Amino acid sequence: MNIDLARTFLEISETGNFNRAAERLNVTQSTVSMRVKALEDELGRPLFTRSKAGTELTAAGVRFRRYAANMVRVWEQARQELALPPGLRSLLTVGGQMTLWDRMLLRWVPWMRAAMPDVALKVEVGHSDGLMRLLGEGLIDICVMYSPQSRPGLVTEKLLEERLVLVSTSPRDVDQWDDAYVFVDWGPEYRAAHNQAFPDLSTPTVAVGLGALGLQHILANGGFGYFPMRVVRPLLQAKRLHAVSNAPEFRRPAHMVYALAEEHREELNTAVRGLRHVASLETED
């Protein structure tokens, strides 16, 4: 079977839409439709039902999804392992959310290279849902994220608890609230705690889903928002940012997630040990 057929099937099953799948695969919608038809002809079963509301898997499609994911995983692993240059014995793929690559994971990469110089590293950046999907499909060996999903066969371990603090480009008190506030969406738990702490807050004029983008915005244009202390500490020390007086703080745990598998066992054990080490260096006080 052409591996592109399996990839196309998985993209449609995830997005529920032929157009979005085509965009993510960087092909035309007609190409996606032809691939689905070829796959359905080969399997002798319809895999999707189509309607104005979107695209859903048939019973056969649900059963096939696990096999498609395994095929893509095995192909990717084989392709990457066979492409390793001399002197490297294996490849370890690690994924993380953008904010966690800052400092902590950037510290881990040289630690891991020193600990296992004969292991190649591939790094991925994404949101928790996408990273969990790649982990479940075996395309990532270990992930570091904020909101992991509990799944059979996966180990989840808390690495650290981030301290989210309210900082501003100019000195201010928490009562001095204005349109310069930038709401950074740090996840569902944070949203709930934020709403409880600020029940009367109107809809912010600027809201972002990526912490790095929010921080860049206020540094360039002025304003205030919540960010991890480990990220803003150098900016506070340089007086580019100021802690907002009397503002509540929030806690956000970060976890590492990996599969219980025999392959890459030595590399995984070393990677886990290294992540624990660099996490211990991230002081929050």
Higher-confidence residue: 230 or 184? 184
Query: Does residue 250 have a pLDDT over 70?
Result: yes
The rounded percent of the chain whose pLDDT value lies above 90 is 43
User: Is beta strand 154-168 parallel, antiparallel or unpaired with respect to 142-145?
Assistant: unpaired
**Structure tokens belonging to residue 92:** 């370890």
The pLDDT tens digits for 26-57 are: 899 999 999 999 999 999 999 999 877 778 89
Give the lowest-confidence range in 72-76, 105-109, 171-175.
72-76
- Listing DSSP states for 203-264 in one string gives PPSEEES-HHHHHHHHHHH--EEEEEHHHHHHHHHTTSSEEPBT---EEEEEEEEEE--STT
What does the angle CA 143 – CA 5 – CA 134 come to, to the nearest 5 degrees? Answer: 5
Confidence label for 85 from pLDDT (cuts 50, 70 and 90):
confident
Tell me, which fold does domain 3-81 have in CATH?
Arc Repressor Mutant, subunit A (1.10.10)
Higher-confidence residue: 258 or 100? 258
Higher-confidence residue: 231 or 284? 231
- Please compute the mean of the pLDDT values over residues 84-94 and round it to a whole number: 81
Dihedral through CA 113, CA 116, CA 119, CA 120, nearest 10? 0
3-81 and 87-285 share one CATH topology? no
- Give residue limits of the domains in the chain: 3-81, 87-285
Listed residue (221, 229, 193) closest to 205, CA to CA = 221
Cβ atoms within 10 A of the Cβ of 47, count? 22
pLDDT score of 252: 87
- Please compute the mean of the pLDDT values over residues 72-76 and round it to a whole number: 78
Cα–Cα distance measured from residue 169 to residue 175, given in angstroms and rounded to the nearest whole number: 16
- Please compute the mean of the pLDDT values over residues 209-220 and round it to a whole number: 91
- Please compute the mean of the pLDDT values over residues 242-260 and round it to a whole number: 91
Confidence label for 84 from pLDDT (cuts 50, 70 and 90):
confident
- C-alpha distances out from residue 231 to 43, 158, 241, Å: 51, 19, 11
Query: Does residue 157 have a pLDDT over 80?
Result: yes
Query: Does residue 285 have a pLDDT over 60?
Result: no
Contact 259, 154 (CB under 8 A): yes
- Please compute the mean of the pLDDT values over residues 76-103 and round it to a whole number: 78
The pLDDT tens digits for 189-210 are: 889 999 999 998 888 899 998 8
pLDDT score of 264: 63
Contact 157, 149 (CB under 8 A): no
Listed residue (165, 183, 185, 163) closest to 245, CA to CA = 165
Confidence label for 284 from pLDDT (cuts 50, 70 and 90):
low
pLDDT averaged over every residue in the chain? 87
- Please compute the mean of the pLDDT values over residues 245-273 and round it to a whole number: 86
Q: CATH code for 87-285?
A: 3.40.190.290
pTM for the structure as a whole = 0.63
Query: Does residue 261 have a pLDDT over 70?
Result: no
